[in-house]
């Protein structure tokens, strides 16, 4: 159970700061990708972890892991007040999300990010986009 939550949080948090798509492993063109799945994860940080340290870890995880995953489109990481974080990750389909989650369990680049999250506070929803104004 903790391994699954760790994997989910890894992917979710990998989703930190929106970065340029040109760094994606699968070099993207100007072509727009269709969002097939939106992962929304809320969580709190472990005691003693600063927002600045967490964002740094989230950026590194996104650059070293998330952006290299097939089907990853973009990510937004937000903070509400000073305790609740929301990680929103956009995927082309559920299969890509599932593959990335499995790989995250075995990837060292994800560990520093996951270690900062209070797993007892994690709530993840996989949602289907119904309206997209982009």
Share of the chain above pLDDT 70, in %: 76
- On whether the pTM is more than 0.85, the answer is no
* Backbone dihedral angles phi then psi of residue 4, each to the nearest 5 degrees: -65, -45
How many angstroms separate the Cα of 94 from the Cα of each of 21, 46, 64, 71, 117?
20, 29, 21, 9, 24
For the chain, what are the domain ranges?
2-17+34-127
Lowest mean pLDDT among 4-8, 17-21, 72-76, 112-116: 17-21
Q: Which CATH number fits domain 2-17+34-127: 1.20.1250.20, 3.40.50.1000, 3.40.50.300, 3.30.70.100?
A: 3.30.70.100
Q: Which pLDDT does position 18 carry in this prediction?
A: 38
DSSP tally for the chain: helices H, then strands E? 4, 4
Distance, in Å, from the CA atom of 72 to the CA atom of 82, rounded to the nearest integer, reads 28
Judged by DSSP in three states, 127 sits in: strand
Cβ atoms < 10 Å from Cβ of 42: 17
List pLDDT tens digits, range 24-67: 444 343 457 899 999 999 999 999 999 999 999 999 999 999 99
Cβ atoms < 10 Å from Cβ of 56: 16
């Amino acid at each position: 159970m903790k391994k699954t939550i760790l994997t989910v949080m890894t992917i979710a948090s990998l989703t930190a700061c929106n970065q340029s798509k040109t760094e994606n492993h699968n070099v993207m063109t100007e072509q727009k990708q269709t969002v097939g799945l939106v992962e929304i994860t809320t969580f709190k940080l472990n005691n003693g972890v600063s927002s600045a340290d967490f964002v740094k870890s989230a950026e590194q995880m996104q650059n070293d892991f998330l952006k290299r995953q097939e089907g990853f489109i973009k990510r937004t990481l937000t903070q509400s007040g000073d305790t609740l974080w929301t990680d929103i990750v956009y995927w082309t389909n559920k299969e890509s999300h599932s593959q990335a989650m499995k790989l995250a369990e075995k990837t060292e680049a994800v560990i520093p990010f996951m270690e900062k999250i209070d797993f007892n506070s994690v709530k993840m929803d996989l949602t289907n986009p119904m309206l997209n104004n982009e």
